[in-house]
């Protein structure tokens, strides 16, 4: 996956997101000659065979349509097309990088005694003198300096065919240095398991537009990689592609900023002052989520400044002032670019808001001062204090009512803001006396019809999560650093929690009922492991795009290979470390595998060796092999891989960097076995990508960064903090209180179909049939709780289903069926409508007529 948006192309985005091949972009313009047509039967067949072999080694197959297209090309065109396609796939998995570990014979050549290896390095580095015998073996002719570190290395004690760096400082050395000798350890993959093969399909002319539409109508904030993809896809778009409503404000700001120069009327889509601020951030290439300020404020053209101020001037004054005070510091910085008082007589409402925001002393001797004061006199919410204007905001009134012990008044205020009421639902339920809980339920029933499905699913999880354990906090920052604290809140009364949950779930079912009917639905019970999609603002760039907290099943004796690759910037050394910590079922420390211990329990964990620099262009790679069965035998339950920036360099200063996991790899780096890959990005210095629970046989995605300061970051220093974070994540996401993707699919199934087939975790297939007297809510409860089914069923039920949602796409749905599959494998997007998890939730938007709920 390319590290920078500027390096991406539309073809790369479509291939990574949808496994669709844009043949127009990837096929070079090669003219066919008569000679090529004479040779065509032989060269094309050989070229196709070679391309398919290369694709299979990467875990891919050509669909029928794509195969026919390739067969229609000339030999030179096929060669160019195949080369470009393979380059994109290699960049996505990380196979395009040079993966050379410290011990090139990894895992067999990794020393069993890390202490002896360390002592020999220290002795040789401190005591070895030029033109003197080796301090370890006494050889008088084998000690020579290596380049560029100039350390004196004995060729007898240190094997240049086994090592890829200086054995004393572990830094990369010149590839042409005589110390390095050819290695014969690397073995290329010889066989790819059939269950790892994924299908590549032919992109259609409308594919790009459909992908843009799917991103624009999504109801949850996009991740950084999704925003970058959207900007790439918009490069060939025009405003006619835009839906009537773009529900996520950050996404809307990106679109407005992209088209604003040629289509200034789009500024009217910015409905609030905060929307306008997001557009300004996007224009300055900053975060439209407003988590971080622009690195450098660009000077805006006068026409753009007037356009922005005119839009602010048309907003209701009270909402404008309140919105700007919500982001006070950001607006004060933007005022230096906008010069609002320069246009005060033309846009007095905007000037009034900035005067309140900046606490400006009004000068009635100027036209701007008189215009602002005249505008202020028309609004009762503004008061004059000396020479300055002041006001009170809606949020301050709500907080004041709660702080003063007037929760009923706070509820009355929040009735005006449905989304805010749902977000504060649990806070209100705890603040209100029991005799007012009925009023809260009634207020919720009125408000919930206008609220985003992402907000509703978050509220459901909060309502039914009992206090008593640890709480998680994900602050709005440049990176997703998390904090925990003990949950000391009082539990909600059971009847109140049940009533609130019924209202929220009932609204989701009502919205699903308005969607097109389905004759039969096929669901996979394993979807209960996946969390419902939510905000993805801080999500890392990954292959699977799963929501944080989701889990996937793994065999208990599986071999996993972790990999870390990075390239340091010119002139600065970066030492990253791939480490693994093992804890027992009580989160007591069991052991580790990192640069201080290259082997844990012989072969249970094996580290490929610590590289302490990663100069361009090759960079450095570290591996760790995990034998999960062996780890279980020594009392380990939780296995936590961690990436540390040992010398405190933030990840966003790397030229490139990523970490990932392979399952049962063949060869050192097997692209077909890559199960997930995280890009290293942002100002973080410690990444906890996932954790493995050997008892539940799950691999759970954490994707969190831990705070770090100082130098020398490693497990010995942060082991307790890592265990606390992982334990909290397991408690929160493993309890089953949060809304899962299984529940979202059950809402669709219960509201839209009378016949639902479920594939159970043990492989059996059962059916649920809705009784004519059974309402959708009761049917949904039966499905969600997986109560006693109505009858057994056969596996081929998926073949006759209109809609299927599964963990693994090892099914053959009927032609044209809508399918969600975390691992699509051989599902063909040309024969089926493949959808992602956010689309399942976006379909349950408040007004489904304004947004195409699911592709058809």
**Would the pLDDT of 8 be above 70?**
no
Whole-number CA gyration radius for the chain: 30
Average pLDDT in the 292-305 region?
Answer: 85
Residue 35, token pair as written in the block: 């000679």
Q: Rounded to two decimals, what is the model's pTM? A: 0.87
Among 58, 73, 93, the domain-final residue is 93
- Asked if residue 472 is part of any domain, the answer here is no
Beta strands in 337-447 (DSSP E): 383-385, 388-390
Whether residues 586 and 704 share a domain: the answer is yes
- The residue out of 339, 356, 382 marking a domain boundary is 339
Name the DSSP letter for residue 449: G
Domain end point (choices 320, 339, 358): 339
Of 160-174, 766-780, 784-798, the range with the lowest mean pLDDT is 784-798
Write out the residue range of the structural domain in which residue 522 sits.
513-531+739-842
User: H helices then E strands: how many in the chain?
Assistant: 27, 28
CA–chain centroid gap for 741, Å, is 16
> Is there a single domain that holds both residue 829 and residue 766?
yes
Task: Return the minimum-mean-pLDDT range out of 378-392, 472-486, 665-679, 768-782.
Answer: 472-486
CB 371 within 8 Å of CB 346: no
pLDDT category of residue 853 using cuts at 50, 70 and 90: very low
The answer to whether position 851 is within a domain reads no
Most confident of the following: 205-209, 243-247, 775-779: 775-779
Query: According to the model, what pLDDT value does residue 481 have?
Result: 60
pLDDT (tens digit per residue) in 55-81: 999 999 999 999 999 999 888 889 999
Read off the pLDDT band of 363 (50, 70, 90): confident
Looking at the domain assignment, is residue 768 inside a domain? yes
pLDDT score of 275 = 95
Q: CA–CA separation, 395 vs 424, rounded Å?
A: 12
Mean pLDDT, residues 595-614: 95
Predicted confidence band of residue 276 (pLDDT cuts 50, 70, 90): very high
Quick one: 620 and 570 in the same domain?
yes
* DSSP state string for 115-169: HHHHHHHHHHHHH--TTS--TTT--SS-EEE-TTT--EEETTTS-TTTBSB-TTT
Asked if residue 78 is part of any domain, the answer here is yes
Query: Residue 34: what pLDDT?
Result: 42
Return the CATH number at 656.
2.60.60.30
Q: Which of 559-563, 800-804, 849-853 has the lowest mean pLDDT?
A: 849-853
Please state, in angstroms and rounded to a whole number, the distance separating the CA atoms of residues 288 and 285. Answer: 9
SS3 call for 707: coil
pLDDT band per the 50, 70, 90 thresholds, residue 568: very high
Q: Same structural domain for residues 787 and 659?
A: no
Could you tell me what percent of the chain has a pLDDT over 70? 93
Domain count, the chain: 4
What average pLDDT does the segment 463-475 reach? 76
Burial of 736 (0-12, 13-18, 19+ CB in 10 A): exposed
For residue 849, pLDDT beyond 60: no
Q: Are strands 551-553 and 698-705 parallel, antiparallel or unpaired?
A: antiparallel
Say whether both 755 and 800 belong to one domain: yes
Which one is predicted more confidently, 478 or 251? Answer: 251
Q: CA nearest 719: which of 591, 550, 578, 536?
A: 591
Three-state SS for 399?
A: helix
Average pLDDT over the chain, rounded to whole? 88
pLDDT-based confidence at residue 7 (cuts at 50, 70, 90): very low
**Looking at the structure, do residues 760 and 678 belong to the same domain, yes or no?**
no
Same domain, 703 and 838: no
CA 778, 779, 783, 786: dihedral to nearest 10 degrees? 60
Q: What is the pLDDT of residue 166?
A: 95
Q: What is the pLDDT of residue 742?
A: 96
Residue bearing tokens 């050997």: 694
Please indicate, yes or no, whether residues 332 and 217 belong to a single structural domain of this protein. yes
- Residues 6 or more apart from 544 whose CB is under 8 A from it? 675, 676, 701, 822
DSSP designation for 533: P
Cα–Cα distance between 574 and 650 in angstroms, integer? 9
Judged by DSSP in three states, 581 sits in strand
Do 565 and 639 share a structural domain?
yes
Q: Is residue 271 part of a domain?
A: yes
Mean pLDDT check: name the lowest of 346-355, 463-472, 515-524. 463-472
Domain-embedded: residue 545? no
Mean pLDDT of 498-504: 95
The pLDDT of residue 364: 85
Q: Alpha-carbon distance 703 to 689, whole Å?
A: 4
Whether 179 is covered by a domain: the verdict is: no
Of 225-239, 621-635, 796-810, the range with the highest mean pLDDT is: 621-635
- Report the pLDDT averaged over residues 529-546: 76
Checking if the pLDDT of 761 tops 70, the result is: yes
| Mean pLDDT value of segment 333-349 | 91
pLDDT, residue 795, reads: 67
Mind listing the pLDDT tens digit for each residue in 676-714? 888 888 888 999 999 999 999 999 988 888 878 888 999
Looking at residue 850, its pLDDT comes to 40
Using pLDDT thresholds of 50, 70 and 90, give the confidence band for residue 827.
confident
**Confidence check: pLDDT of 39 > 70:** no
- Residue range 154-166: mean pLDDT, rounded: 93
- CB-based burial, 36-66: b 16+ in 10 Å, e otherwise: beeebeebbeebbeebbebbbbbbbbbbebb
Question: Does 295 score more than 80 pLDDT?
Answer: no
**What percent of the chain has pLDDT above 90?**
58
Q: Does residue 426 form part of some domain?
A: no
Q: Is the pLDDT of residue 38 over 50?
A: no
Q: Average pLDDT for residues 552-579, to the nearest whole number?
A: 92
CB atoms within 10 A of CB 808: 16
Which of 198-202, 426-430, 671-675, 728-732 bottoms out in mean pLDDT, i.e. has the lowest? Answer: 728-732
CA atoms of 562 and 624, how far apart (whole Å)? 5
Q: Based on the fold, state whether residues 557 and 693 are members of the same structural domain.
A: yes
Q: Are residues 665 and 793 in the same domain?
A: no
Please, what is the end-to-end C-alpha distance for the chain in angstroms? 29
Angle between helices 494-513 and 741-752 (to 10 degrees): 60
Q: What is the pLDDT of residues 82-129, one digit of tens each?
A: 999 999 999 989 999 999 999 999 999 999 999 999 999 999 999 989
What is residue 828's predicted lDDT score, i.e. its pLDDT?
Answer: 85
811 and 675 in a common domain: no
Could you tell me which residue, 796 or 247, shows the higher pLDDT?
Answer: 247
């Amino acid at each position: 996956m390319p590290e920078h948006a500027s390096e991406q192309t539309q073809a790369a985005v479509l291939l990574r997101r949808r496994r669709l091949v844009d043949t127009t972009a990837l096929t070079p313009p090669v003219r066919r000659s008569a000679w090529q047509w004479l040779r065509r039967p032989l060269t094309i067949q050989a070229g196709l065979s070679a391309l398919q072999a290369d694709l299979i080694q990467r875990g891919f197959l050509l669909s029928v349509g794509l195969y026919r297209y390739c067969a229609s090309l000339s030999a030179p065109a096929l060669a160019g097309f195949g080369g470009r396609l393979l380059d994109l796939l290699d960049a996505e998995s990380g196979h395009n990088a040079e993966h050379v570990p410290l011990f090139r014979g990894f895992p067999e050549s990794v020393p069993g005694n890390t202490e002896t290896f360390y002592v020999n390095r220290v002795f040789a580095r401190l005591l070895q003198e030029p033109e003197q015998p080796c301090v370890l073996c006494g050889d008088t002719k084998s000690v020579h300096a290596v380049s560029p570190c100039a350390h004196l290395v004995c060729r007898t004690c240190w094997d240049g065919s086994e090592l890829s760096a200086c054995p004393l400082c572990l830094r990369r050395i010149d590839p042409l240095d005589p110390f390095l000798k050819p290695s014969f350890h690397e073995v290329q993959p010889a066989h790819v398991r059939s269950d790892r093969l994924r299908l590549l399909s032919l992109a259609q002319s409308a594919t790009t537009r459909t992908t843009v539409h799917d991103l624009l109508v999504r109801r949850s904030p996009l991740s950084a990689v999704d925003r970058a993809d959207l900007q790439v896809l918009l490069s060939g778009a025009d405003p006619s592609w835009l839906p009537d409503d773009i529900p996520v404000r950050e996404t809307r700001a990106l679109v407005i900023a992209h088209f604003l120069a040629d289509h200034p009327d789009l500024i009217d889509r910015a409905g609030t002052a905060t929307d306008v601020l997001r557009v300004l951030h996007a224009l300055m290439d900053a975060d439209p989520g407003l988590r971080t300020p622009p690195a450098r404020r660009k000077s805006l053209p006068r026409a753009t400044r007037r356009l922005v101020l005119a839009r602010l001037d048309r907003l209701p004054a009270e909402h404008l002032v309140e919105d700007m005070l919500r982001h006070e510091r950001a607006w004060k910085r933007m005022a230096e670019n906008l010069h609002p008082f320069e246009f005060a007589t033309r846009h007095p409402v905007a000037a009034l808001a900035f005067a309140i925001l900046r606490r400006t002393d009004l000068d009635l001797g100027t036209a701007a001062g008189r215009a602002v004061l005249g505008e202020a006199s028309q609004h009762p919410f503004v008061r004059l204090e000396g020479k300055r204007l002041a006001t009170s905001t809606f949020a301050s009134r709500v907080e004041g009512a709660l702080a003063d012990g007037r929760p009923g008044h706070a509820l009355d205020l929040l009735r005006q803001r449905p989304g805010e009421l749902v977000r504060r639902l649990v806070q209100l339920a705890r603040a209100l006396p029991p005799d007012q809980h009925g009023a809260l339920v009634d207020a919720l029933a009125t408000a919930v019809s206008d609220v985003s499905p992402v907000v509703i699913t978050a509220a459901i999880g909060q309502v039914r999560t009992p206090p008593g354990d640890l709480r998680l906090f994900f602050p709005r920052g440049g990176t997703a650093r998390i904090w925990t604290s003990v949950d000391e809140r009082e539990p909600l009364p059971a009847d109140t929690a049940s009533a609130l949950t019924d209202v929220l779930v009932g609204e989701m079912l009502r919205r699903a009922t308005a969607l097109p009917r389905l004759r039969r639905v096929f669901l996979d019970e394993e979807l209960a492991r996946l969390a419902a999609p939510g905000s993805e603002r801080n999500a890392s760039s990954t292959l699977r795009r799963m929501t944080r907290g989701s889990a996937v099943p793994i065999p208990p004796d599986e071999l996993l290979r972790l990999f870390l690759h990075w390239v340091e910037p010119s002139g600065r050394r970066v030492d990253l470390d791939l480490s693994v910590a093992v804890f027992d079922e009580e989160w007591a420390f069991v052991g580790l595998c990192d640069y201080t211990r290259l082997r844990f329990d012989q072969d249970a964990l094996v580290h490929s060796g610590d590289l302490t620099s990663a100069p361009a262009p090759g960079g450095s790679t570290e591996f760790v092999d995990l034998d999960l069965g062996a780890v279980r035998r020594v009392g380990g339950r939780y296995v936590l891989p961690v990436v540390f920036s040992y010398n405190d360099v933030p990840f966003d200063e790397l030229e490139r960097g990523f970490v990932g996991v392979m399952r049962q790899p063949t060869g050192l780096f097997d692209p077909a076995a890559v199960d997930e890959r995280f890009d290293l990005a942002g100002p973080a210095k410690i990444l906890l990508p996932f954790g493995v629970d050997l008892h539940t046989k799950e691999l759970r995605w954490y994707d969190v960064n831990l705070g770090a300061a100082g130098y020398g970051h490693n497990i010995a220093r942060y082991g307790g903090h890592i265990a606390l974070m992982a334990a909290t994540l397991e408690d929160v996401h493993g309890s089953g209180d949060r809304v899962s993707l299984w529940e979202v699919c059950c809402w669709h199934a219960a509201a839209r179909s009378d016949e639902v087939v479920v594939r159970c975790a043990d492989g059996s297939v059962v059916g649920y049939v809705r009784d004519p007297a059974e309402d959708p809510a009761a049917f949904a409860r039966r499905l969600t709780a997986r109560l006693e089914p109505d009858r057994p069923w056969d596996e081929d039920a998926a073949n006759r289903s209109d809609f299927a949602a599964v963990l693994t796409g090892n099914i053959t749905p009927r032609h044209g069926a809508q399918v969600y599959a975390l691992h699509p494998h051989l599902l063909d997007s040309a024969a089926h409508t493949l959808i992602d998890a956010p689309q399942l939730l976006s379909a349950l938007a408040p007004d489904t007529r304004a947004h195409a709920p699911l592709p058809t």
